[in-house]
A and B are shown apart, each in its own frame.
Chain A
Amino acid sequence: MADRLAIPITRRIEGLPIIVVFVLLLGLFMTTAPQVFLAPFIYTTFLSTLPPLILLAIGLTFVIGSGEIDLSFPAIIGFAGFVFAVSFKEYELGWFSVLAGLAAGTLVGFLNGVLIAKVGIPSFITTLGTQFLWFGMATVLSGGKSYALRGAHQTSVWNVIVGRPLTGVDGPGWLWQLPMQALWTALIVVFLWFILNRHRFGEHTLFIGDSNDVSRVVGIDVDREKIKIFTLMGLLAAMAAIMLTLENKNYFGNQGQGYLLTAIASVLIGGTSIFGGRATIIGTVFGCLIIGMIEAGLVASGLTGAWVRTIQGLVFLFAIIFYLYVDEPQKRAAFFTRFGRSDEAAPKRTAVSINQREERS
C-alpha cells in the first residue's frame, strides 16, 4: 500500500531530473570547451539572449499544461514586433509604442482563445491558421522591410528594457554586461510560478489540462480560462518581441521563426506533460537553459552549427521517452493508444479517458 502511494522522487523536487541533466551538460561543456564555459562572458550572453525564449516557454507551459498547443507565437512575435518597431521608429511614440506592441500581442492571443474556446476549433488547427494570418499581416504592413532602430540605446525605453545598468561601475568586466531583460524575465518567471502553483487561475489551468469534463462539473468556466491562457501567451510573446527587437536594435519579420521548435522543446524537456494536467515553471526554465546551452556548447566544442538542431532534436526525444517511461508510466498506455499501438499492460480506464478527450475535442 505504501509503495503504491509513494510519491516518486522526481515529483517531490520540482524539475529535479532536468536540473540533473542541466548540471551534467554544464560539466560536459566545461570539459570540452573550458575556454568558453569557465569564463563569465558566455553566461552574460545567455542572460541577454535567453529571455525571449524563456518568456515564450513560460507562456507555453500554461498552454501545454492546459492540454492545448499554440503554434502561432512566432507570428505574434512578428506582428507585435512590427507594431512596436513601426510606432517606435516611424512615429517616435516611445513608451506608447511599447504599450501598442503589448496590446497587439495580447489581442492576437485573445482572438486565438476565442476561436479555440467559443468557436471550438482545436488549438492545433486554430493557431496553425492564425500563424499564417498574423505573419502575413506583418509582412504586408511592413512591405517585407526590416526596421533598424539606430540610436535606440539613447532612449529610456531601451535602457529600461534591455539596458546595461552597471556599465562603468568598478569591478569585474562582466558586471558591465548584465542586461535588464534578465531581471524583468526573472521577475515575470517568479510571478508566474506563483500564479501556476498558488493561484486559482493556475489550478484551473491544470484541471482543464487533466480533463475538460471534470473541470466543467466542478464549476470551472473552461471557455473563459482558455481564453485567458491564450491571451497570456499573446502578451508574453509580445514582450519577447519587444525585447528581441530592442536587443538587436533591428526588427525583421522572421525574427520569431526560430523559436517554434526550441520553445516547445524547452517546455517538454522541462517535464510539463505532453497530455496536459501537469506543468512546471522551474522545469521549463532549465529546459530553456539546456536548449540555449547546447547551441553555444556544441559550437564552442568545435562541432559545426549544423549539429545544433540534430542534438537538440535528440535531447528532445530522449526527454519525451524519459518522462513517458519513468515519470508517467500510467500515461504510456494512453500515448500508444492514441498513436495506434496497443499496450497489454495498460489499465483500461486510462485508454477510455483519452478516447473521451478526443471525442470532446
Chain B
Amino acid sequence: MYAVHSGATIFGVVVIEADNHTHPSSGFSDIVRMEGVQKYFGAIHALRDVNLKVGRNEIVGLIGDNGAGKSTLIKVMTGVLPPSAGRLFVRDQLIDPADYSVRMAHDLSIETVYQDRSLADKQPLWRNFFVGRQITNRFGFIDIKKQKAIAEEILLKSIGFRGVGITVDSAVSQLSGGERQGIAIGRAMYYDADLIVLDEPTAALAVKEVRKVLDFVGKIRSSGRACVYIEHNLAHVHEVADRLVVLDRGAVVAEIKPEDMTVAELTDFLITLQHQADG
C-alpha cells in the first residue's frame, strides 16, 4: 500500500532510486542552482527572489556593495543558514532545507573558505584540518596519529609549506594571513570539493599574498572544479572569473561576462547602479 516507486513524489520531495546516486559527480549540469530564494532576518529582506546557477567547471564572481547580501547568499548555499523560501538544487537534485547543513554540504562536496572564519586561532593545524569530520573510532575518540600524518601530507604536498617552519602542531595564530588562506584552501582541496566557495579570501592580505590566492583560484578551474568567488576588489575578480553576478540589496541585478567589460567600465557600472539606488 505504501510502496514507493521510483520517481514517486512524497511530500513534494522526489524520491530517486539508490542506483542514481552511485556516480554523484556525473550526469548533472549545474553543481548548484538556486530558484526564487528568499531570506528574511526578522523584517529585513536580505535575499529577494534570487536565481543563480553555478556550472560544473565555472568560476562565478559575486560582486556588490556592503550589505548587498553576498555573504547571506553563500551562507544559504553552503548550509549555514536555511532559506526562508525558494528551492536549492545540488547537482540538479532538490535539497530539503530542513536536512541541509554544513555537514551535508561537505558530504555533497561543497567547501567554503571564509575570509577570517575558516580556522580557529588557538587550535593546532591538524585539528583545524579535521574538525567537524574527525577520523574517530566508534566511540568518538580521535585517531590523532592518522590525522596528524594526513595533515602533514597536505601541508607539504598540496600547500607546499615545506621548510617555512610550520608544523601540524603550530597554532593558527602563528601564521600570516596568506598562510591561513593557504591552509583553508588546502583543506578544501583535500576534501576533493566539486565546488569551492571563497568569501573575500584576499581581504586584509598583503599584495604578494593576494597573488598566491589568485593563483589558487586559477588552480581550482584547471583541476575541473567550480568556484563561487566573493570579492570586493573588482580587478581581482575580473581577472579570474568566467562570469560576474552583481547583487544589489538582496537581488541579482546583472550578469556580466568579464570579456564584455573592462575593469573601468565595470566600476562605472556599479557606481551608476549605486546612484540609481540613492536617487
Choose the segment among A105-113, A119-127, A157-165, A199-207 that binds chain B (4+ C-beta atoms closer than 8 Å).
A199-207
Q: Which of B103, B142, B167 contacts A200 (CB 8 A)?
A: B142
Q: Which of A214, A219, A278 contacts B117 (CB 8 A)?
A: A214
Residue pair B169, A217 in contact (C-beta under 8 Å): no
Residue pair B120, A277 in contact (C-beta under 8 Å): yes
Q: Is A7 an interface residue (CB 8 A)?
A: yes
Cα separation A171 to B275 with both chains bound (whole Å): 91
* A203-B131, A353-B116, A353-B121 known; A216-B140 Cβ under 8 A: no
Which residues of B sit under 8 angstroms from A215, Cβ to Cβ?
A: 120, 131
* A211-B120, A349-B204 known; A4-B102 Cβ under 8 A: no
Q: SS class of chain B's interface: helix, strand, loop or mixed?
A: loop
Cα separation A7 to B116 with both chains bound (whole Å): 23
Q: Type the 1/0 row for B77-88, where 1 means its CB is closer than 8 Å to any CB of A.
A: 010100000000
Which residues of A sit under 8 angstroms from B122, Cβ to Cβ?
A: 206, 210, 273, 277-278
For window 208-236 of chain A, which residues contact chain B by CB distance below 8 Å? Answer: 210-211, 213-220
Q: Is A250 an interface residue (CB 8 A)?
A: no
Which residues of B sit under 8 angstroms from A204, Cβ to Cβ?
A: 131
Q: Type the 1/0 row for A341-361, where 1 means its CB is closer than 8 Å to any CB of B.
A: 000000001000100000000
Chain A residue at minimum C-beta to C-beta distance from B122: A277
Q: Which of B118, B119, B121, B134 contacts A203 (CB 8 A)?
A: B134
Which residues of B sit under 8 angstroms from A207, Cβ to Cβ?
A: 120, 123, 127, 131
Residue pair A217, B103 in contact (C-beta under 8 Å): no
For window 58-93 of chain B, which residues contact chain A by CB distance below 8 Å? Answer: 78, 80
Residue pair B123, A277 in contact (C-beta under 8 Å): yes
Cα separation A278 to B121 with both chains bound (whole Å): 10
Q: SS class of chain A's interface: helix, strand, loop or mixed?
A: helix
CB distance from A278 to the nearest CB of B (A): 5
Interface extent on A, as a size class? Answer: 20 to 34
CB distance from B229 to the nearest CB of A (A): 17
CB distance from B167 to the nearest CB of A (A): 7
Which residues of B sit under 8 angstroms from A273, Cβ to Cβ?
A: 122
Residue pair B142, A217 in contact (C-beta under 8 Å): no
Chain A residue at minimum C-beta to C-beta distance from B131: A218
Residue pair B118, A219 in contact (C-beta under 8 Å): no
Cα separation A330 to B103 with both chains bound (whole Å): 32
Residue pair A218, B102 in contact (C-beta under 8 Å): yes
Residue pair A211, B132 in contact (C-beta under 8 Å): no
Which residues of A sit under 8 angstroms from B121, Cβ to Cβ?
A: 210-211, 277, 353
Residue pair A200, B120 in contact (C-beta under 8 Å): no
For window 264-295 of chain A, which residues contact chain B by CB distance below 8 Å? Answer: 273, 277-278
Q: Is A5 an interface residue (CB 8 A)?
A: yes
Which residues of A sit under 8 angstroms from B144, Cβ to Cβ?
A: 198
Q: Is B33 an interface residue (CB 8 A)?
A: no
Residue pair A200, B136 in contact (C-beta under 8 Å): yes
Residue pair A5, B170 in contact (C-beta under 8 Å): yes
Interface extent on B, as a size class? Answer: 35 or more
Cα separation A220 to B117 with both chains bound (whole Å): 13
For window 1-26 of chain A, which residues contact chain B by CB distance below 8 Å? Answer: 1-2, 4-5, 7
Q: Is A194 an interface residue (CB 8 A)?
A: yes
CB distance from B102 to the nearest CB of A (A): 4
Q: Which of B131, B141, B174 contacts A194 (CB 8 A)?
A: B141
* A207-B131, A216-B102 known; A201-B120 Cβ under 8 A: no
Residue pair A201, B140 in contact (C-beta under 8 Å): yes
CB distance from A333 to the nearest CB of B (A): 12
Q: Is B213 an interface residue (CB 8 A)?
A: no
CB distance from A348 to the nearest CB of B (A): 9
For window 128-160 of chain B, which residues contact chain A by CB distance below 8 Å? Answer: 131-134, 136, 139-142, 144
CB distance from A9 to the nearest CB of B (A): 14
CB distance from A143 to the nearest CB of B (A): 44
Cα separation A104 to B223 with both chains bound (whole Å): 56
Which residues of B sit under 8 angstroms from A206, Cβ to Cβ?
A: 120, 122-123, 127
CB distance from A166 to the nearest CB of B (A): 33
Cα separation A191 to B214 with both chains bound (whole Å): 46
Which residues of A sit under 8 angstroms from B142, Cβ to Cβ?
A: 198-200, 203
* A1-B165, A199-B142, A219-B103 known; A211-B117 Cβ under 8 A: yes
Q: Is B51 an interface residue (CB 8 A)?
A: no
Residue pair A219, B101 in contact (C-beta under 8 Å): yes
Q: Which of B101, B112, B122, B166 has the most CB of A within 10 A?
A: B122
Q: Type the 1/0 row for B159-180, where 1 means its CB is closer than 8 Å to any CB of A.
A: 0000011110110011000000
Binding site for B on A (CB under 8 A): 1-2, 4-5, 7, 194, 198-201, 203-204, 206-207, 210-211, 213-220, 273, 277-278, 330, 349, 353
Instruction: Identify 7 residue pairs between A and B in the complex whose beta-carbon atoms are under 8 Å apart, listed by A's number.
Output: A1-B165, A2-B165, A199-B141, A206-B120, A207-B123, A210-B120, A277-B122
Binding site for A on B (CB under 8 A): 78, 80, 101-103, 106, 112, 114, 116-123, 127, 131-134, 136, 139-142, 144, 164-167, 169-170, 173-174, 204
Given A200-B142, A214-B119, 15 other A-B contacts at CB below 8 A?
A4-B165, A199-B139, A200-B136, A200-B141, A203-B123, A206-B120, A210-B120, A213-B117, A216-B80, A217-B118, A218-B132, A219-B103, A219-B133, A277-B120, A277-B123
